[in-house]
Structure 1
Amino acid sequence: MRTGEPLPALGDVLAGLDTGLWHWDTAAGLVTVDAVAARLIGLPPEQVSLTEAQVRARLHPVDWNGITGSVQLAVIEGTLAEVRIRIMDGQDRVVRVVRSRLKPAYDRVRKAYVLTGTLHEVTEPAPGTPAGSGAVTGDRRRSREAFLLDAGRALAEARSTQEVLRVAANLSMPGFSPDGLAVFGVEGDRLTVVGHHGHEHGADNPFSMPLDTDYPAAEVVRTGRAVYLSSPEEYEARYPLTWPLAQRFGRRSWAFLPLTASGRTMGAWLAAFTHPVAFTPDERSVLTTVARMLAQALSRAGTAENERALTDGLQRSMLPRLGPQRIPGMSVAGRYVPTGGGLQVGGDWYDVIPLPSGRFALVIGDVQGHDVRAAGLMGQLRIALRAYASEGHRPDAVLSRASRFLHGISEADPAETRFATCLYVEVDPGSGVLEIARAGHPDPMIRLADATVLTRPTAGGLPLGIDPDADYPTTRLPLEPGETLLICTDGLIETGGHDLETGWQRLRGILEEHKGDQEELADALVQGVHGPSSHHTTGPLADRREDDIAVLLLCREGEGCGCGAESDTALPPVRRTMLTVAQAEPERIAVARQQLRELLHDWSSADQVDSAVLLLSEVLTNVLVHTDTDALLLAEVTGGGNGRRIRVEVTDACDDLPHVRSPGELASSGRGLLMVELLAHAWGVAPRGEGKSLWFELYETERTGSG
């Protein structure tokens, strides 16, 4: 071609290479093929649009399922899909084998896949032919070199063991492609199968066996040397004991190669063929090269999976699971996103702590640093804060004790002195009042019902661990219906070159413009800083993260709130009764029982009503018998429909805490708390400033019957 001449059209180039084009729109259910692609699938050589059923009828059914699976994986992984397809005639015979590379995309509006790909024929020898037994021509050698380059690229890009196995299953070796593959591993003194391809569905797995078994893969692992079996007769002669395992699959040749990484044989790879293969030096060279690349890919994937497992384990152990929260009229959403450093967990954390008073606490904090030491201190500090809060201390006392705790750890190892910022919020679900104590942490934000966003300045003290005698004043804030509280670590604010002021402005814009529910709002905040990502994965964007992120959202239900509830969904009223039973008035226990029955007059389970009355009698009696103080009863029914809850709380002025005992058969006491533990869905003892309160809860069971 002379300089300046126009390039040929793409269609002409592809046609000259005997490569066809096809386009598949799953929403329309149509597949459009050009003339070359039409010829390759057995149709007249002209462009035509076909239905999915018409195309599927011309393909091997297993390969059709492989196309759909590969497309979904390619969309998830953002890569090209590559599939091998067998073209069938009307008598269920394979007339040719083609290979397609395609770029899939997912249309979220139409909820459909759109695919465009190429199609070209793959030359494979027929069973029984002496494929590859002669001299290797230049064309064949070049095709094998191209195959090895392509295989190396695909295996290098695989990020998990399953992805490596998928790549290995789709390898089409020029001239002698196997139709059965298996990857073996070693667990202790046993040979196991990591993955396989080409065995019929439902076949038993025959590959788990002791390493000293007379089986080719076991011998390969023991010796580190490959085993080539060119015929069934050779297989049966060399391995008569295990020949029945291979006989039923109908293969004609087998190659077992060691998977070696860093000088260690980590397993074996089986390539099985339905046609005889002589395993010439050139073929053995190709198989050996593939086995080496496969071993390296499996080793990298295993290391990455171990690191991910460590990360996931640390995250699961150090962060709470925010499942359905039993918080009347409120909902909580949280996210944790690690930094892009080596260890994907750092010093940031959040927690949601139920308190003895029936309230709950939100805690968020950030230990100095992004290393294993920071992660370890974070775990210890989170446990300490939960313990102090569960004892019933007020927010200022919780942070004071936590600061003293962290300072003590730092004194034990001055070279590793660390501090931590923290924000502690005690929430009263009934009134919506927030009591906030802050230790060097960013202030919270409030999103009002009309989407106006305000920063709420709060009084605060030094970060935890600096001064063991530091004070942490408490700020009281109301959270009105329809409002959402945001608390976060500075990673959400200052990432991307932002300072505290500009970072708040960025978050303010996200909060003001968001229209979805609370979970979607949590994702939007993270994506607004780092792009598409979430707390479920670390993903490729991890390398761009500058700091850990922890974020908590608390929404009080009402019109305009971020949890989906609107004003026309009014909260059910709280049904409540209070009663004092004095030491000199034990007869009022009967009055208390009657009032509790009246409180539960429409409860769906009569057995639960009897249980609640029985437990109330036991708790009140224990106060009168084992203390010299009066008892204050507070009983509340909350919720609506079949999701209601009865909470009974009895308070006295005695500081001695009750304990569950195991009384003997003739004992006259000690069974009260045992009955509470057996019959109540939840119970506990909450220490007070003076005295204590014992509470229990029962949750209404689903109504039965047709009425």
Structure 2
Amino acid sequence: MGDREPRLEPGEALAATRVGCFAWDPATGRLTLDPVARTVFGLLPAEFTGLSSDLRPKIRAEDWELLSGLSADLLSGRRNAYSAYFRVHLHDGRSRWTHARGTLVRERPGGAARVVGVIRDATLDLAHTALRLPAEEEQDPLRALGEGALALARAMSVDEVAEVLGSETSLRPLGAKAISLGVLEQGRLQMVRTVVSPGSSDFPAKSRLADSLPLNDVVRTNSPLFFTSVHSFLDRYPGLARYRVGFSATAAAFLPLMDEGQPIGALGVFYDDRSVFSFADHTLMTGWAKAVARAVHRVVPLDRSREIAAALQNAMLPRRIPRTPGGLVAVRYRTARKGVRVGGDWYDAVTLPDGGLGLAIGDVQGHDTEAAALMGQLRVAMAAYAAEGHGCDTVLGKASAFLAQLDSDRFATCQYLRVALDTGEVQAANAGHPPPLLRHADGTVDVVRLAGGPPLGLPAEWGRTAYPYTTARLAPGETLLLYSDGLVEKPGEDFDVGLSRLAAAFSGGPPDLEELADHLLDTLTGGPHAEDDAALLMVRRDGAGTTALQPLGRRD
């Protein structure tokens, strides 16, 4: 027999592959289904009267919502066609994955619109895809992102949320190469995590919500955007072409962040070689976006309150540290990351009448505005006593009496030192504060035990209020560290354990004094749940030497 071209019967091919056809009139709600389409939906003759509403009991509620949204986009002109996966309830109690593709057609320009398309059993489509929902379809799609969701729940700032988004715990389950985050602030979108090429550092960090940018558009419309080609993306956003240099993503999903009905911001999720976003992808990313929105909504007020607390606290700290010929001084302050209350930690450095340097660090009891106010008053009073040229014992004695007279029922721990950087002579007294640390020129660290007395502000009738002091000598190249207990203490942990941790960080830190200060804060206060504020003050004598800080005597 000769070669014959096989006969093609479109209707037979559609039926054999279980592909049905439909036509829907939005104006009347009338829906036409061919026999194959009715089989795909599992409809009995009595269950279908020719209305689209007949399908609602057959389709899961969340899927019906998705299909309704896609149809609305089609009718409004936001889409030319749609493609969606959804689940159909069968009479035996199972659910079946189904796929529909619809297109808007008009008999003439401006005429009545109809949606026509095809529908098919999509069980085989989703049998092997990595991003389909698990076989037990009731399972929460966020289970695959459980580790990332847990990290989001622990985040205490927007920056920490952004860190979670950039980690493998987020990227791997989504199959994404990168994620960007924009947060809505006073009508503008602030980029917290930006995904652009290295040569595009001028990408706007903040933009008006009305600007034509993908994240801005999804916030404004509360509708996601999906792109499976660079061409389609640049066709809509030609001005972003220059930011793609060196960035290899070829597909992207842009998702609005909403929580409790409020717009929070938007996510950009970027992919390599993604040709389609299935319903399972939509479900997973939508669920993830909800988790991110909840996290951002929770931490934004914490960030703002923390900024207010830090601004109030910093306003009460010295605006500048005096010049220190013969040495260097570095200071740092960090508010508590757990909670948003201001604290009572402070530091100060003043020039003394004899040309020396007066250094103080302290902590007023409590974490509230009263503690901060008392801290400000006490710091100013101590600076005035120091400027009068008093010795360490007198300065602390006067400060204690001053705090007691305020009748606040608060006490404060404090250290006060007089340092002559030209000779290295140090005079130091302590009022119940943790001991200083000394880093020698070779990097070894010692704990410096100072003579002293009780915390400041205790009533005189409680007994001893004198503050004996220790004299010592600071060798060239040595660094003295004063700190508050927020740098050391952790709930339930022995103080000496925290002190050893601080000594190790101090010893192993960089040689530059400013970098060393940052290193100590980053190492010891970087946890998301730090419960206390922390202050530190370091002084280093110029030069290099090996002479240790030696106590010369104790004066009562």
Alignment map for 1:56-67 (pairs within 5 Å): none
Cα offset, 1:279, TM superposition: 5.1
Cα distance between partner residues in 2 of 1:448 and 1:278:
62
The answer to whether the 8 Å contact 2:431/2:455 transfers is: yes
Cα distance between partner residues in 2 of 1:321 and 1:537:
25
Cα deviation 1:157-186 (Å, max 9, x = unaligned): 265254245249973678xx6778654443
Alignment map for 1:513-532 (pairs within 5 Å): none
Matched, 1:479 2:472: yes
Matched, 1:383 2:383: no
Matched, 1:135 2:135: no
Cα deviation 1:79-108 (Å, max 9, x = unaligned): xxxxxxxxxxxxxxxxxxxxxxxxxxxxxx
Code of the residue aligned with 1:420 in structure 2: it is A
Matched, 1:342 2:339: yes
The answer to whether the 8 Å contact 2:439/2:506 transfers is: no
Cα distance between partner residues in 2 of 1:353 and 1:172:
54
Query: Which residue is equivalent to 1:34?
Result: none
Matched, 1:163 2:149: no
Matched, 1:267 2:265: yes
Cα distance between partner residues in 1 of 2:204 and 2:123:
36
Cα offset, 1:361, TM superposition: 1.2
Alignment map for 1:208-219 (pairs within 5 Å): 210-212=208-210, 217-219=215-217
Cα offset, 1:266, TM superposition: 1.6
The structure 1 residue matched to 2:410, chosen from 398, 418, 423, is 418
Cα deviation 1:200-242 (Å, max 9, x = unaligned): 9449748976544677654532342335678999999xxx9x5
Code of the residue aligned with 2:363 in structure 1: it is D
Cα distance between partner residues in 2 of 1:398 and 1:491:
24
Query: Which residue is equivalent to 1:464?
Result: 457
Code of the residue aligned with 1:163 in structure 2: it is E
The answer to whether the 8 Å contact 1:441/1:463 transfers is: no
Code of the residue aligned with 1:463 in structure 2: it is L
Cα distance between partner residues in 2 of 1:387 and 1:446:
27
**CA 1:543–1:562 in 2, change beyond 3 Å: closer, same or farther?**
farther
Cα offset, 1:358, TM superposition: 0.7
**CA 1:492–1:466 in 2, change beyond 3 Å: closer, same or farther?**
farther
Cα distance between partner residues in 1 of 2:215 and 2:493:
56
The number of aligned residues is 408
Matched, 1:144 2:132: yes
Query: Which residue is equivalent to 1:258?
Result: 256
Cα distance between partner residues in 2 of 1:285 and 1:348:
48
**CA 1:443–1:161 in 2, change beyond 3 Å: closer, same or farther?**
closer
Secondary structure of the structure 2 residue equivalent to 1:265 = strand
Code of the residue aligned with 1:224 in structure 2: it is N
Cα distance between partner residues in 1 of 2:385 and 2:391:
9
Query: Which residue is equivalent to 2:292?
Result: 294
The answer to whether the 8 Å contact 1:180/1:198 transfers is: no
Give the gaps of 5 or more residues in structure 2: 1-118, 135-140, 550-556
Cα deviation 1:518-553 (Å, max 9, x = unaligned): 988x99xx9xxxxx9823355466768899676767
Code of the residue aligned with 1:144 in structure 2: it is R
Cα distance between partner residues in 2 of 1:408 and 1:171:
59
Cα distance between partner residues in 2 of 1:255 and 1:133:
25
Alignment map for 1:532-681 (pairs within 5 Å): 534-536=520-522, 538-539=524-525, 560-561=546-547
Secondary structure of the structure 1 residue equivalent to 2:522 = coil
**CA 1:190–1:536 in 2, change beyond 3 Å: closer, same or farther?**
closer
The answer to whether the 8 Å contact 2:225/2:253 transfers is: yes
Query: Which residue is equivalent to 1:154?
Result: 148
Query: Which residue is equivalent to 2:30?
Result: none
**CA 1:363–1:299 in 2, change beyond 3 Å: closer, same or farther?**
same
User: What is the TM-score when the length of structure 1 is the normalising length?
Assistant: 0.43
Cα distance between partner residues in 2 of 1:484 and 1:232:
56
Query: Which residue is equivalent to 1:51?
Result: none
Code of the residue aligned with 2:127 in structure 1: it is D
**CA 1:216–1:336 in 2, change beyond 3 Å: closer, same or farther?**
closer
Alignment RMSD = 6.1
Code of the residue aligned with 1:422 in structure 2: it is C
Secondary structure of the structure 1 residue equivalent to 2:371 = helix
Cα deviation 1:401-452 (Å, max 9, x = unaligned): 5345434543xxxxx5312233333334456555556556678899999999
Alignment map for 1:131-530 (pairs within 5 Å): 135-137=122-124, 139-140=127-128, 143-145=131-133, 148-154=142-148, 156-157=150-151, 159=155, 160-167=160-167, 171=171, 183-191=181-189, 193-197=191-195, 201-202=199-200, 205=203, 210-212=208-210, 217-227=215-225, 244-245=238-239, 255-270=253-268, 281-299=279-297, 302=300, 306=304, 309=307, 326-328=324-326, 342-343=339-340, 346-392=343-389, 395=392, 398-399=395-396, 401-403=398-400, 405-410=402-407, 416-429=408-421, 434-435=426-427, 439=431, 455=449, 457-458=451-452, 460=453, 463-464=456-457, 466=459, 478-480=471-473, 482=475
The answer to whether the 8 Å contact 1:156/1:297 transfers is: no
Cα deviation 1:358-383 (Å, max 9, x = unaligned): 12212233322344533442233223
Query: Which residue is equivalent to 1:81?
Result: none
Secondary structure of the structure 1 residue equivalent to 2:219 = helix
The answer to whether the 8 Å contact 2:429/2:468 transfers is: yes
The answer to whether the 8 Å contact 1:144/1:173 transfers is: no
Higher relative contact order (CA 8 A, sep 6+): 2
Cα offset, 1:296, TM superposition: 3.4
Deviates more, 1:264-273 or 1:549-558: 549-558
Cα distance between partner residues in 2 of 1:208 and 1:443:
45
The answer to whether the 8 Å contact 1:439/1:472 transfers is: no
Cα distance between partner residues in 2 of 1:163 and 1:293:
15
The answer to whether the 8 Å contact 2:225/2:254 transfers is: yes
Code of the residue aligned with 1:166 in structure 2: it is G
Cα distance between partner residues in 2 of 1:494 and 1:251:
46
Cα offset, 1:263, TM superposition: 2.6
**CA 1:534–1:486 in 2, change beyond 3 Å: closer, same or farther?**
closer
Cα offset, 1:135, TM superposition: 1.6
Secondary structure of the structure 1 residue equivalent to 2:171 = coil
Cα distance between partner residues in 2 of 1:203 and 1:453:
46
The answer to whether the 8 Å contact 2:440/2:548 transfers is: no
**CA 1:555–1:233 in 2, change beyond 3 Å: closer, same or farther?**
closer
Query: Which residue is equivalent to 2:96?
Result: none
